[in-house]
Copies of this chain bind each other. A is one copy, B any other.
Amino acid sequence: MRADARRNYERLLTEAGVAFGEKGTEASLEDIAKAAGVGVGTLYRHFPTRQDLILAVLRDRFEAMATTARDLKCDDPGRALREWLLAQLHHITATRGLTAELAVAVNNPESPLHGQCETLFAVSADLLARAKETGAVRPDLTQADLATIVHGIAWSCESDSVRQERLLDLFLEGVLV
Contact = CB atoms under 8 A, between A and B. Distances in A.
A133 B174 CA distance: 18
Contacts of A152: 149, 151-153, 155-157, 167
A170 B156 contact: no
A167 B155 CA distance: 15
Instruction: Count the copies.
Output: 2
A163 B137 contact: no
Nearest to A173: B174
Nearest to A174: B174
A156 B89 CA distance: 14
A145 B103 CA distance: 21
A135 interface: yes
A67 to B, nearest CB: 25
Contacts of A162: none
A141 B173 contact: no
Nearest to A149: B167
Given A135-B177, A172-B174, A167 B151 contact: no
Among A26, A148, A151, the one with the most B-chain Cβ atoms within 10 Å of its Cβ is A148
Q: Which A-B residue pairs are the 7 nearest by beta carbons?
A: A174-B174, A152-B152, A152-B156, A151-B156, A148-B156, A138-B177, A152-B153
Given A149-B156, A174-B176, 17 more contacts: A78-B176, A103-B156, A107-B156, A137-B175, A137-B176, A137-B177, A145-B170, A145-B175, A148-B153, A148-B156, A151-B152, A152-B156, A171-B175, A172-B175, A172-B176, A173-B175, A174-B174
